[in-house]
Amino acid sequence: MSVALLIVVMSIMNGFDKELRTNILSIMPHASIFHRGGIENPQELTQQIESNSNVEASSPFVQLEGLVSRKKNVVPVILFGIDPILEKKTSSLPTKIPQDALQTFASEKNQIILGQGVANKLNVQVNDKITLIIPSTNNMNGDRFSSRINVLRVCAILHSQSELDNNLALMEINQASAISLHPGNITGIRLKLNDIFQAQTTLHEITDELAQGYYGFSWMRTYGPLYEAIQMSKGMIGMLLFLIIAIAAFNLVSTLIMVVVDKQGDIAILRTMGASTREIMSIFILHGGLIGLIGTSIGSLIGIGLSFVITPLVSFLESLFGIQFLKSDVYPVTYLPSDLQWMDVLQIIITALILSFLVVIYPAWRASRIQPADALRYE
């Protein structure tokens, strides 16, 4: 069971790692370029940015912070204005929205897409109307505040199964720009990178070539600590579960020592019949190795099977009991992900087999040291 448990836990940790890289980071930018006064001519800037070898694609966006309300419910949101056509190059957002809703979103005015968590808090459905409130200032010193209020129709609800659902809202980029502090300008350029772990280096290279006033942020600032925590947890859990395998191997040693004590007479008879110490050792090494091989095989099959069914199994239990084990306000995803990697399985199997064969050497040596005369004296 130690092998099975280690395979399942490693698969879950790999699942969280994959979910962060392929789901969350497919929605949120790998990196973004901003300008303090907004960007007036994104086409020219985009060409310059895409000349960097690590930039696969780029797209403009408008980012606002505001409130959405319906009746007495009010929820803070981060509003992104996107171009649905250009967004397909850098984000998986368009693929998570129904095609008809996406067309409506792009062609009609006063449309908004809400994350599932936001929609639940407001208790709204598709086609319901909500109020969007964007706070702003009336002068350069920022000492007089006002708000821009718009009534919008919910044309779709985004369900990404991640924490993004709790505060994300989308508008068409031109309409979002019109209600921003810099109408007609965009907030920034989002980048899709070939190597996401070179995000900071790429940002430095790009901003050094741009005019003064440009700056950038990467996913390492927002999700970097989470990624490092996942990697550290994966290493720590792997080490702890390795100790569980070691304890199981110690139990194998205890079992074989008990067998040696119980079978001293039989071992002595074999010795008197001409069996050498090497043959006696081989018998017990083979015995212990066979136990380890059978145990590792059974544990591997159980662990691999559980890794494939753990996600739907947890979802079934959640629906059966009406509970949610992973909530997006605490965890980065709302379901238990699993990603079985065969290299991890191979390493676990090899480690378990090596430990099994190493720990049986001492009991086998003890058996080979039994003297026939001493063992048969009281038989």
Please determine, for residue 189, whether its predicted confidence score (pLDDT) is greater than 60. Answer: yes
pTM, rounded to two decimals: 0.66
Q: What is the pLDDT of residues 128-141, one digit of tens each?
A: 899 988 876 554 45
Please give the backbone phi and psi of residue 263, each rounded to the nearest 5 degrees, phi first: -105, 25
Positive/negative CA dihedral, 83, 84, 85, 90:
positive
Output 238 or 363, whichever has higher pLDDT.
363
Q: What is the pLDDT of residues 22-39, one digit of tens each?
A: 777 777 788 888 887 788
Domain ranges of the chain: 2-10+229-376, 29-222
Q: What is the pLDDT of residues 311-343, one digit of tens each?
A: 888 888 877 877 777 665 556 666 788 888 888
Output 110 or 26, whichever has higher pLDDT.
110
Q: What is the mean pLDDT of residues 35-58?
A: 84
Mean pLDDT of the chain: 80
Q: What is the pLDDT of residues 141-154, one digit of tens each?
A: 545 555 678 888 99
Positive/negative CA dihedral, 196, 199, 205, 206:
positive
Q: Token pair for residue 239? A: 């080490």
Q: What is the pLDDT of residues 218-266, one digit of tens each?
A: 887 777 766 776 667 667 776 776 777 777 777 777 777 777 777 777 7
Q: What is the pLDDT of residues 76-101, one digit of tens each?
A: 998 988 888 888 888 887 778 888 88
CA distances from 353 to 6, 89, 234, 242, 341 (A): 14, 47, 22, 12, 19
Nearest 5°: CA angle at 291, between 369 and 360? 30
